[in-house]
Each structure stands twice: as C-alpha cells, then as structure tokens.
Structure 1
Amino acid sequence: MPPLAKGRKAPDFKGNDQNGNPVALSDFKGRKVVLFFYPQDMTPTCTVQACNLRDNYALLQQHGFTVIGVSPDPVESHKKFETRHELPFTLIADPDRKIIGKYGVWGEKQLYGRKYMGLHRTTFIIDPKGKISHVFLRPKNKQHAEEIIAADITT
C-alpha cells in the first residue's frame, strides 16, 4: 500500500510513547501535527533527522506544530533515544506496525542491490481538521524542520 496522499483524512491511532503512556492522534485534535515515521532509533540518519527537529523545535511550536515520531522500535529504545539526544517531542513505539500500516509507509526497500522490507522515512503534516496537508516522501534530514515550515507557509 502506498503512503497516504495529501487531502486524505489522517487515520487515528493509539500507541505508547517513550514513557509508556498511551497516546492517540485524536489527543491532538484542533492542532497542526508533524507526524514523522523513521526506521530506527540511534541510527545515523534517524538521529540527524530527530536532532534537526529538536534544534528547531521552538520554531516549529511558534508555527503551531506538535511533533510526533513513530518507529517500530519498542518503548525502551525510544526512551534511550530521547534521553541521549534530549528530544523534546513524543516518540511512539509501533513494534506491531499497526500505525505504520495505516499510513502505508512499510514496504520493499533496496540497499546495495539487496531487496528487503522496511519502513520508508516519511513525514505527514496534519492540519487542525485532521486532514493531511503535506507529505514528505524523502525528507531532507538535515533541513527537515525548515522544509516543514516552508510547506506550511505555502499551504
């Protein structure tokens, strides 16, 4: 299944955050949400992306965004990732890939000619009405916050 497209209603979900607390997308109704899916905690590219969002978190908040990350890692891994990199936003554990499946970001990947199944790094901007207003299929990890803000300004 391909990732959800711009204009579609964002599917609600429930999961546990890095502290083991339940979180649902519906908890953020009426707010703009940056929902970013990333393959794995502590990996170089995922760390660059998360730290870019961390470093620009105040600016994202000024633009009205709530930031939520989702990966198939367990709660304990998310807690280590949050602590090590001082991440100020929610990280949701999705080891059963239920949320990942709803957003269509799991599929075949290829690295050095080898094909395998994995998570496609994808970010969705969800508007206050719960609609997807922008999809980043290949986020610029080192400038991800900047491209999110630019997309918000043009929307």
Structure 2
Amino acid sequence: MAMTMKGEVALPADRETVWAKLNDPEILKASVPGCQELEQVGDNAFRATVKLKVGPVGAVFKGAVELKDMDPPNGYRIVGQGEGGIAGFAKGSARVELTDAVEPAGGCLLRYEVEADVGGKIAQLGSRLINGVASKTAEQFFANFAAAIKN
C-alpha cells in the first residue's frame, strides 16, 4: 500500500545548526520514536532497528537508511527500507529541504515530502490507520528533534 505525506516545521535554530543535527546519528536516534539502534555504516549510510506499533500489530523493523543528493546545508533525500517479520515491510524515501525562516521569528523552516510503501500484515490494517500512525510518528519525531536542537 502506497502513501504520501508532506509538511513543514519551524525549528528554533539557524539552518547550519539544523543541518548538523540532521546528520548526527545520536540526535536522530533520540528523535525517531521507537528507535532502538541507529548505527552509521558508511559516509551516508545507517543501519536501524525501530520498534513500532500500528493498531494491534507491533513489530521490530530492521533496515537500512541512506542519505542521497546531499546539498549542505539545504537538504537531502533519505531512502530506506525495513523488514518487520510477519508484520510486513516498509520502504520509501523523503525529500528534506531547509530554508531560513522569515523574521522576526528567525530559525529554520524544514519542509519534507515522504513517499512510502508498506506491505504484509500492517498493510491489511487500512490506509486510514496507517496514515494516522505515520502522521503521529512524524509529529513526535519533530517534537523530539526540536527539543534536541535546543540542548
């Protein structure tokens, strides 16, 4: 089942600081809800383990994430895939774009556009439930990320 999601978030730091934090494995691990492991395995490649619950289905997804089309400090594309055993699989990509926020607030505006495909038991739960969980997970990620930027 394919899904798309996009949005934007104002962050309380300049673009260079946000860029640095977006490329820090420890910050990302702390920001991703349910992330149990995020290990850098190459210049722009990571191995991840994330525990998720979608409705009645819970699973631990193990997969790989790669950062592509790097354009510091303006953005990149994230490509990833993961397997969750009988729960199913997830794969997709996200375009992340950073711009300076308009004064007087200052800071940085992060825009994202996600395309994902899920299959297996999770896909059988229906698009409404999956989209709701995806939106909530994205909101939690950005709340965690904004908190990490302040520290």
- Structure with greater Cα Rg: 2
Q: Please give the TM-score of this superposition, normalised by the length of structure 1.
A: 0.31
> Which structure has greater strand proportion?
2
Q: Please give the TM-score of this superposition, normalised by the length of structure 2.
A: 0.31
